[in-house]
Structure 1
Amino acid sequence: MASTILSLVPPTPGLLPKWLLFTALISVGNSIQAYTTLKFTARVYNPTPIDPPPTTPKHVTALSSRTFGTWTFLAAVIRLYAAYHITNAAVYQLAIWAYVCAFGHFVSEWVVFKTTRWGLPLAGPVFISTGTLIWMFTQWDAYVVA
């Protein structure tokens, strides 16, 4: 059993490919929950403090949650490919862009559109995307074959 699981781990040395696999798997789980419940997506996209009750808008609908789930699944596929093909420059760049899009989305929803506010549900995706981007930019030469 353990050898079967270990055979699924990306063969490239280093932690970055394993991290990309981990974030891909978490993203798949996030996609599934976005399709099955609004609870967790609504924790991220919550009304801002400036929304007056009782007319507080509902930022999360079933449609928006499924759309977010689809977008997240696409990012998971890109991360999965990057985990196993990390030496390919084009795949590495696609993974970087997937994290840039995630960072841009979450920060713009917070700063520009005000559909979320700073807190644990938002901090996770922001820190993961930021940290992974820094890691990927600094490790390009260690993984990408020229």
Structure 2
Amino acid sequence: MASFLSAIEPYLPQHEGLLPKWLLFVSTVSVLNSVQAYLTLTYTARVYSEDPSLNGSNKKSDEPPHRASGHPTSTATPLSSRLFGTWTVIQSIVRMYAAYYISNPQIYQLAFLTYAVAFAHFVSEWFVFGTVKWGAPLAGPVIISTSSLVWMWLQWGYYVQ
């Protein structure tokens, strides 16, 4: 394990503090999430698990044929899953740049805004559009975006001079 860590250490962000490493970690996980969004609809359908047009009913006869298997009330489609994957990988790229260039105010601000957009998206899908419900699939993105926003807000003066 020690040799693995020493082997990857030169590739990790060299700034002090944990925030750059957090940004890199979230970015890496998000890239993997993007890959799965292209390969399968299953996980995207878990997040977007509610169809507001069904108004609480579970009428399977009215379901379009593209519904995700195992998620009969999901509005997720293969196209929406791939779009979500594309959106996620773009945000991942910005966050990865921020991990390595965290003292650059413009890059820091862009990374901060990626979390603000993610937070706004998931909360609006929950409260406004009703396509998601509270649970583990939604809790992850909301907790990560919220905690990252607060952390970055509090650490602005430490990283950006």
3-state SS of the aligned residue for 2:90? helix
Aligned equivalent of 1:26: 29
Match among 2, 9, 14 for residue 12 of structure 2: 9
Letter in 2 for 1:80: M
The answer as to whether partners of 2:51 and 2:75 remain within 8 angstroms in 1 is no
CA shift, 1:47, in A, is 1.7
Aligned equivalent of 2:57: 52
Identity of aligned residues (%): 54
* 1:143 and 2:159 aligned: yes
CA distance in 2, matches of 1:58, 1:48: 6
CA distance in 2, matches of 1:123, 1:104: 14
User: Aligned residue pairs: how many?
Assistant: 145
3-state SS of the aligned residue for 1:86? coil
CA distance in 2, matches of 1:62, 1:48: 16
Detail structure 1 runs of 4+ shifted over 3 Å in the superposition: 48-51, 55-58
CA shift, 1:42, in A, is 0.6
Letter in 1 for 2:48: Y
Give RMSD over aligned pairs: 1.4
Match among 35, 40, 44 for residue 41 of structure 1: 44
Correspondence list, 1:113-124, <5 A: 113-124=129-140
Letter in 1 for 2:124: S
Letter in 2 for 1:47: E
Superposed CA deviations along residues 111-140 of structure 1, whole A, max 9, x for unmatched, are 000001000100000000000000000000
Structure 2 residue runs without a partner (length 5+): 64-72
CA distance in 1, matches of 2:92, 2:23: 9
Superposed CA deviations along residues 42-101 of structure 1, whole A, max 9, x for unmatched, are 110002583311146541100000000000000000000000000000000000100000
